[in-house]
A and B are shown apart, each in its own frame.
Chain A
Amino acid sequence: MKNPQILVPVNALDEVLPLLEAGAHWLYGGVLPREWADRFPWIVPLNQRTFESAQFPSLAELEKAINRTRTKGRAFALTLNAPYYMDEQVPLVVELARWAGRAGAEALIVADPGLIVTLRKEGVELPLHLSTMGIAANARSVNFYAGHGITRVILPRFLSLAQIATLIKAMPSVEYEAFILVGKCPHIEGLCTFIHDSPDRRWPCEWPWDLADETGGHPPGNISKHFAGIRESDRRDGCGLCALPALKAAGVSIFKIVGRGAPLERKLQLVRQLSRLMKEMPPELDETWLRMCKESYRELYGHRCSEHNCYYPEVYSEHRGPKEGCR
């Protein structure tokens, strides 16, 4: 079985070499060409980021970044993963896709089934990776997308390890990418219509929500606890490190670090930690491995992990031990 590779976001030229040297194999990022930025406000996204620091500042800088990545024998994927594009936007998107091919990108990350069809129709031959915004949560959906040219599926975050294994076994003909660090979303992002435009990047799912029963009573205790847990956790402290052996065994070949727009130092920390753990990964979960992962979590995030930050909470629950409580 091939060793999985690390994918991490990049948004500036001077981030490329440090991230690759830290252990990244794939870089991904986005850019807003002038023509798009002049015509559409932030709330009309070209890719799934509404803030400037998540984008490369120019096509010229992105091209250099792609070149630099290729020079080191690694790969870059361009994000074109808005959930839909109107007809008037499509020519800009197709042109950017063509540009990415000329610039040396290895793949496009896409979500809109209409765009997927159009890219092939327009002769854009770059491999297409399906964003979680495309929601391929079962083998039939993967099959549908594969039939339209998708060669890699970024697994929806809500799938359990068992579901991931079932899906990959049923559809082994594409590659699979799984979230490992940062950015745990309390909602199914491909089905979420909250607008992510807050300048402090605290999205609506992170706002403090109070719950009350519509008839005036208290909500059931577990509902209150579920929401309290989301409120008290920081979704940026998402983690799936414990599950690495299971993900590898299931056939996941790319481990994803989230965080377009995050500071370089932070991304380097995450890549180095993940890279180190991947070298020490046992074939199956064991207590030594779990202890190592939990220590890594504390190093990375400054506190103990919880089920609300855990990408695969079935692992957390089974192995947390009787004395572990909320942080």
Chain B
Amino acid sequence: MSLKRSHYYHLKGSTPIPEGWDGIRVGSETCTRLLPTSRDIRRISEEMDAGVLSLVTPVAGPDEVNDVLNIILTSAGLRWNEVVVNDWGILDAAGGLEGIQITAGRLLMRFRRGPGAFDPWDELDLSSRRYLAWGPLYDSPFLALLKKKGVSRIELDLPRHWFPLPDLNGFRFSLHRGTRLISVSAACPWLYDTEKRAWNPTAGCDRTCTGHSDMVMTSPAVDGSLLLRGRAVLERVEVDTGELKLPDNVDRIIFDPVS
């Protein structure tokens, strides 16, 4: 079965979906300032006459949540196919929308992906390996709650050690290739003002981070490196998803822009 491939599309520029790709994703898992405006939503909907259009949304602050919902509501009336949600309040409000698929984002799912001081994998029994690799997918009441809120698709990224996915009928899965999401900065590093010794308000952010390549984070405490992209801390994943035994309901691969 061929996997549909979705590519992260940045708001800069407006081009058709590249050949070989099945859809585009717009927005951010980690920052409300990287969301498209309602006007962008309409424009993209008009320009893209084929393929899956996915709107990706983050956790929202008290002064942001209604704006994020308005963008989602705008998309629901247009050609947008999917909204990826990482905020419980947004899920609660958007879950009943008709005409749009609600997807649980990686952050809503709460997978454990980060490095720690140790890698105990070899000493762990099956149960603990399940916990680390795919634990939230064994949390039935949580999954039932997602279903009740209208979630039909779940986003995943790869655990530090491969472990077979559970058979979960009732959901489709999108698998991130290229990175796993480790953490989110509490204060955006790009907003730090060295003169004021404070972080400038988010509302004034001009998306400086989008004009820069990723920052590579290294530490003597850990092998390998992490990436700082905006306020997201990511880890590059080298695994070829084509080599993995994936269940049939993993039917979408998401490529990060630099993978």
Chain A residues with a Cβ under 8 A of chain B: 39-41, 43-44, 83-88, 90, 112-115, 117-118, 121, 134-145, 147, 157-159, 162-164, 166-167, 170, 185-188, 191-199, 204-205, 207-215, 219-223, 225-227, 229, 306-307, 313-314, 316-317, 320
Contact = CB atoms under 8 A, between A and B. Distances in A.
Interface string B128-146: 1011100110111111110
Contact of A196 (B116, B120, B140): B116
Given A191-B184, A204-B221, A208-B219, A86 B62 contact: no
Contacts of A225: 192, 194
Contacts of A112: 139, 142
A114 B219 contact: no
B165 interface: no
A244 to B, nearest CB: 19
A195 B112 contact: yes
Contact of B65 (A117, A140, A205): A140
Nearest to B128: A44
Residue from the set A40, A88, A223 with the largest chain B CB neighbour count within 10 Å: A223
A158 B112 contact: no
A56 B64 CA distance: 40
B240 interface: no
12 contacts: A137-B89, A138-B62, A163-B62, A188-B59, A194-B116, A204-B114, A204-B222, A209-B219, A214-B258, A220-B190, A226-B189, A227-B189
A304 B17 CA distance: 54
B81 to A, nearest CB: 23
Interface stretch (B2-10, B168-176, B209-217): B209-217
Given A86-B138, A185-B186, A193-B181, A139 B128 contact: no
B64 A138 contact: yes
Given A85-B139, A316-B198, A138 B65 contact: yes
A140 B93 contact: yes
B88 A135 contact: yes
B78 interface: no
B90 to A, nearest CB: 7
A117 B87 contact: no
B15 interface: no
Contacts of A209: 217-219, 226
Interface of B: 30, 59-65, 69, 86-93, 107, 110-118, 120, 123-124, 127-128, 130-132, 135-136, 138-145, 181-187, 189-190, 192-194, 196-199, 208, 212-222, 226-228, 233, 258
Given A84-B110, A84-B136, A40 B128 contact: yes
A39 B186 contact: no
Contacts of A214: 213-216, 227, 258
Contact of B89 (A144, A185, A317): A144
A213 B120 contact: no
Given A113-B142, A143-B92, A166-B63, A211 B128 contact: no
Nearest to B116: A195
Contacts of A41: 120, 123-124, 128
Contact of A211 (B112, B138, B228): B228
Nearest to A115: B141
The 5 closest A-B pairs by CB, nearest first: A195-B116, A140-B89, A114-B142, A317-B198, A141-B89
- Counting chain A CB atoms within 10 Å of each CB, the highest count among B214, B216, B220 belongs to B216
B212 A207 contact: no
Given A115-B141, A197-B117, A209-B218, A159 B62 contact: yes
A232 B171 CA distance: 45
Contact of B62 (A117, A170, A207, A223): A170
B117 A198 contact: yes
A85 B135 CA distance: 7
